[in-house]
Amino acid sequence: MEPIRPLTAAIPLLSGAKPVAVVGPAHLIERMGASAGTPCSENGQGRFRVLLVSANGMPVEYGPVVIRSEGAIQEIGTPDLIYVPAPEVDFEEALRRNRPYLDWMRECHARGTIVTSSCTGALFLAEAGLLDGRRATTHWCQADFFASRYPKVRWQISRMVVEDGRVITAGGATAYLNLMIKLAEKFLGRAHALSVARFILVDSERDSQLPYMVRWNRQEHRDRVVQKAQEFLAADPRKPVSLPEVAASCGVSPRTLLRRFRTTVGQTPGEYLQGVRIEKAKDLLERTDRTVEEIVAEVGYDDSRSFRRLFRRHVGISPKRYRRRYTVFPAGPELEEAAVERSYCESAAP
């Protein structure tokens, strides 16, 4: 039997990144394949050799932390995988500082490398043109910036991980953990992917950013007419309003308001109001103990079944499940889990 060829993963030491955004993924990629079926084992050699690389081969300083480079990007050959971490500085500054990496990513991808990113690391893939015409995701907080700057990309911001050809992107913050599970499955198979999921304590089926997203009034713009319409709709979201009524409050015709609202916000006023109501419902689910039926009425709906379907479509989970996950009040399931844990500890005691 021929020996299994080791795989190479390269992680660029981007200027402006956080050390944890480099070291955390590096550790997980390096461990892939070392312990399928026994995720807690420290024995065995992983399938990946991880290279932390810089543009010139020199160490990179991240405040008090210095990470040693294992080579210059042009000297390491063509890796099987590139993982691009997220920048923590101003995007324009990040692009200015890290420009040499863009050509390297393009060249490696053209030679067969799978290029991946997490969170706003998609900035570099998009700037390099690797996302043009492809489906991709990034942190939902930056959705408007990315959609505006990179209109050729088919952004799917609600998705946690998106694969399109030899490019894989992950959503915000800890979405890189789900990306690790995806990479384990892609390179090593389902058993290894499940092993990684168990080791990092992440649901391998977590596939949506929707439950974490704040969906309305994110857009920054200078259209005062649209701003007035947004303020009018947000003032009393439970109040039923018509397009002519909103337009009249802004001193323009309904047709003008609709056109400007769509251009500026990317939604109709009605869709925007729906988002306002959903966010209000989420807030009430988090901070109050009102029933779902009471909340439905509070945000302007009279059919709880229709609202539940709408809520699930916008948020990805039911109102009940959302409350369990985000409420500030003690919840039954948490108490039940604590009781189960106490029972387990007592049974395991000598």
- Condensed to tens digits (0 to 9), the pLDDT of residues 292-321 reads 999 999 999 999 999 999 999 999 999 999
119 conformational bin, left if phi > 0, alpha if psi -120 to 50, beta if neither: left
- Condensed to tens digits (0 to 9), the pLDDT of residues 167-183 reads 999 999 899 999 999 99
* pLDDT value, residue 338: 43
- CATH for 224-326 is 1.10.10.60
Residue for token pair 């890189």: 176
Question: ∠189-51-19 over CA atoms, to 5°?
Answer: 100
* pLDDT value, residue 247: 97
**Length of the chain, in residues:** 350
Q: What is the mean pLDDT of the chain?
A: 89
Cα 247 to Cα 252: distance, rounded to the nearest angstrom: 5
Using DSSP, state whether 8 is helix, strand or coil. strand
Question: ∠206-211-217 over CA atoms, to 5°?
Answer: 140
Cα 341 to Cα 348: distance, rounded to the nearest angstrom: 11
Domain ranges of the chain: 7-212, 224-326
Task: Report the run of H or E that residue 149 belongs to, with start and end.
Answer: helix 143-149
- Condensed to tens digits (0 to 9), the pLDDT of residues 14-40 reads 999 999 999 999 999 998 877 654 556
Whether the predicted pLDDT of 65 surpasses 80: yes
Among the listed residues 53, 175, 70, 69, the one whose alpha carbon sits nearest the alpha carbon of residue 105 = 53
* pLDDT value, residue 39: 54
Task: Report the run of H or E that residue 275 belongs to, with start and end.
Answer: helix 269-287
- Look up residue 315 and give its amino acid: V
**pTM confidence score:** 0.80
Give the β-pairing of 161-164 and 167-170: antiparallel
Fold of 7-212: Rossmann fold (3.40.50)
Question: For the chain, how long is the longest CA-to-CA vector?
Answer: 78
Terminal CA-CA length for the chain: 47
Using DSSP, state whether 51 is helix, strand or coil. strand
Cα 8 to Cα 163: distance, rounded to the nearest angstrom: 20
